[in-house]
Amino acid sequence: MKEIKKIAAADNFSAICVGKLSELNEYVLELGPDIKIPGKVFGGAALQATGGEFSFQMFQPGTETGFLHIHKTHEELYFFLGGTGEFQVDGNIFPVSEGSVVRVSPAGKRSVRNNGKEPLVMLCVQYKGGTFTPEDAADGVISNAPVEW
Protein backbone atom coordinates (compact mmCIF):
# COMPACT_ATOMS: atom_id res chain seq x y z
CA MET A 1 0.00 0.00 0.00
CA LYS A 2 1.21 3.50 -0.86
CA GLU A 3 2.23 5.88 1.96
CA ILE A 4 2.45 9.65 2.29
CA LYS A 5 6.00 10.99 1.97
CA LYS A 6 7.17 13.77 4.31
CA ILE A 7 9.08 16.41 2.33
CA ALA A 8 10.10 18.99 4.94
CA ALA A 9 9.10 20.47 8.30
CA ALA A 10 10.14 23.21 10.72
CA ASP A 11 8.50 25.35 13.41
CA ASN A 12 6.04 27.09 11.07
CA PHE A 13 5.36 24.56 8.33
CA SER A 14 5.17 20.96 7.22
CA ALA A 15 5.13 19.55 3.69
CA ILE A 16 4.09 16.16 2.36
CA CYS A 17 3.63 14.45 -0.99
CA VAL A 18 0.84 11.96 -1.67
CA GLY A 19 2.41 11.13 -5.03
CA LYS A 20 1.05 11.35 -8.54
CA LEU A 21 -2.70 11.80 -8.72
CA SER A 22 -2.76 9.06 -11.34
CA GLU A 23 -1.51 6.67 -8.63
CA LEU A 24 -4.11 7.46 -5.93
CA ASN A 25 -5.64 4.03 -6.56
CA GLU A 26 -2.62 2.58 -4.69
CA TYR A 27 -4.01 3.96 -1.39
CA VAL A 28 -6.65 2.10 0.62
CA LEU A 29 -8.42 3.85 3.52
CA GLU A 30 -9.48 1.35 6.18
CA LEU A 31 -12.35 2.61 8.33
CA GLY A 32 -12.86 -0.75 9.98
CA PRO A 33 -12.41 -4.45 9.36
CA ASP A 34 -15.26 -4.53 6.84
CA ILE A 35 -14.95 -1.01 5.37
CA LYS A 36 -12.10 -0.37 2.96
CA ILE A 37 -12.15 2.54 0.53
CA PRO A 38 -9.75 2.15 -2.39
CA GLY A 39 -8.11 5.22 -3.86
CA LYS A 40 -8.58 7.53 -0.84
CA VAL A 41 -5.99 9.17 1.40
CA PHE A 42 -6.37 11.78 4.17
CA GLY A 43 -3.48 14.22 4.66
CA GLY A 44 -4.32 16.51 7.58
CA ALA A 45 -2.67 14.41 10.30
CA ALA A 46 0.51 13.96 8.24
CA LEU A 47 0.71 17.76 7.91
CA GLN A 48 -0.27 18.36 11.54
CA ALA A 49 -3.12 20.56 10.27
CA THR A 50 -5.11 22.18 13.10
CA GLY A 51 -7.99 23.92 11.32
CA GLY A 52 -9.28 21.38 8.82
CA GLU A 53 -8.81 18.09 7.04
CA PHE A 54 -8.38 17.13 3.40
CA SER A 55 -8.39 14.01 1.31
CA PHE A 56 -7.63 13.00 -2.24
CA GLN A 57 -9.76 10.31 -3.80
CA MET A 58 -9.83 8.48 -7.11
CA PHE A 59 -12.98 6.76 -8.33
CA GLN A 60 -12.44 4.22 -11.08
CA PRO A 61 -15.07 4.14 -13.86
CA GLY A 62 -18.31 2.61 -12.61
CA THR A 63 -17.50 3.14 -8.90
CA GLU A 64 -19.09 5.38 -6.27
CA THR A 65 -18.89 6.20 -2.58
CA GLY A 66 -21.64 3.64 -2.00
CA PHE A 67 -23.25 5.56 0.86
CA LEU A 68 -24.72 8.95 1.73
CA HIS A 69 -23.15 10.86 4.60
CA ILE A 70 -23.56 14.09 6.54
CA HIS A 71 -21.43 15.90 9.10
CA LYS A 72 -22.29 17.30 12.52
CA THR A 73 -20.46 20.64 12.13
CA HIS A 74 -18.12 20.34 9.13
CA GLU A 75 -18.70 21.91 5.75
CA GLU A 76 -16.89 20.36 2.76
CA LEU A 77 -15.47 21.67 -0.49
CA TYR A 78 -15.03 19.14 -3.29
CA PHE A 79 -12.58 20.06 -6.07
CA PHE A 80 -12.70 17.83 -9.15
CA LEU A 81 -9.24 17.51 -10.71
CA GLY A 82 -9.92 15.04 -13.53
CA GLY A 83 -12.57 12.83 -15.09
CA THR A 84 -16.35 13.12 -15.12
CA GLY A 85 -19.06 11.93 -12.80
CA GLU A 86 -22.13 12.89 -10.82
CA PHE A 87 -22.56 14.43 -7.38
CA GLN A 88 -25.66 14.04 -5.25
CA VAL A 89 -26.79 16.31 -2.40
CA ASP A 90 -30.20 15.78 -0.75
CA GLY A 91 -31.44 13.88 -3.82
CA ASN A 92 -30.29 16.57 -6.27
CA ILE A 93 -28.00 14.94 -8.85
CA PHE A 94 -25.76 17.01 -11.13
CA PRO A 95 -22.71 16.46 -13.34
CA VAL A 96 -19.15 17.19 -12.19
CA SER A 97 -15.91 17.21 -14.16
CA GLU A 98 -12.40 18.64 -14.07
CA GLY A 99 -12.67 22.20 -12.72
CA SER A 100 -15.97 21.65 -10.87
CA VAL A 101 -16.13 22.74 -7.21
CA VAL A 102 -18.99 21.78 -4.88
CA ARG A 103 -19.66 23.15 -1.37
CA VAL A 104 -21.86 21.08 0.92
CA SER A 105 -23.16 22.28 4.29
CA PRO A 106 -22.91 19.89 7.24
CA ALA A 107 -26.51 18.63 6.94
CA GLY A 108 -26.37 17.92 3.19
CA LYS A 109 -26.64 14.20 2.43
CA ARG A 110 -23.91 13.67 -0.17
CA SER A 111 -22.43 11.05 -2.45
CA VAL A 112 -20.24 10.87 -5.58
CA ARG A 113 -20.06 8.47 -8.51
CA ASN A 114 -17.95 8.04 -11.61
CA ASN A 115 -20.19 7.41 -14.60
CA GLY A 116 -17.42 8.30 -17.06
CA LYS A 117 -14.78 6.29 -18.87
CA GLU A 118 -11.71 7.67 -17.03
CA PRO A 119 -10.80 7.90 -13.32
CA LEU A 120 -12.61 10.69 -11.44
CA VAL A 121 -10.08 12.48 -9.21
CA MET A 122 -11.24 14.65 -6.32
CA LEU A 123 -9.76 16.77 -3.53
CA CYS A 124 -12.06 17.26 -0.54
CA VAL A 125 -11.39 19.97 2.07
CA GLN A 126 -13.28 19.69 5.36
CA TYR A 127 -13.54 22.51 7.91
CA LYS A 128 -15.89 23.70 10.63
CA GLY A 129 -18.80 25.52 9.00
CA GLY A 130 -19.90 29.04 9.95
CA THR A 131 -16.50 30.14 11.26
CA PHE A 132 -15.12 32.37 8.45
CA THR A 133 -15.91 36.06 8.97
CA PRO A 134 -15.38 39.15 6.78
CA GLU A 135 -12.42 40.02 9.02
CA ASP A 136 -10.85 36.64 8.18
CA ALA A 137 -10.73 37.62 4.50
CA ALA A 138 -8.24 40.37 5.47
CA ASP A 139 -6.15 38.14 7.76
CA GLY A 140 -3.09 37.99 5.49
CA VAL A 141 -0.19 40.39 6.06
CA ILE A 142 2.40 40.98 3.35
CA SER A 143 5.95 40.88 4.70
CA ASN A 144 8.52 43.49 3.73
CA ALA A 145 11.30 40.86 3.76
CA PRO A 146 12.75 40.16 0.32
CA VAL A 147 12.19 36.77 -1.28
CA GLU A 148 15.45 34.89 -1.60
CA TRP A 149 15.73 31.52 -3.32
For residue 140, is it within any domain? no
State how many domains the chain has: 1
- Give the mean pLDDT of the chain: 95
Structural contact between residues 83 and 117, judged by C-beta atoms closer than 8 angstroms? no
pLDDT of residue 32: 83
Structural contact between residues 68 and 111, judged by C-beta atoms closer than 8 angstroms? yes
Cα separation, 24 vs 35, in Å, equals: 18
Neighbours of 120 (CB within 10 A): 27
Residues 109-139 pLDDT 10s: 999 999 999 999 999 999 999 899 888 888 9
The band of 31, judged by pLDDT with boundaries at 50, 70 and 90, is confident
- Averaged over 22-34, what is the pLDDT? 90
* Residue range of the domain that includes 82: 5-131
For residue 143, is it within any domain? no
DSSP state of 11: T
For residue 146, is it within any domain? no
For residue 33, is it within any domain? yes
Structural contact between residues 60 and 117, judged by C-beta atoms closer than 8 angstroms? no
pLDDT of residue 33: 85
Task: Concatenate the DSSP letters of all residues of 29-49 into one string.
Answer: EEEETTEEEETEEE-HHHHT-
Bridge partners, residue 75, by sequence:
127
pLDDT of residue 1: 73
Q: What is the CATH number of the domain that holds 47?
A: 2.60.120.10
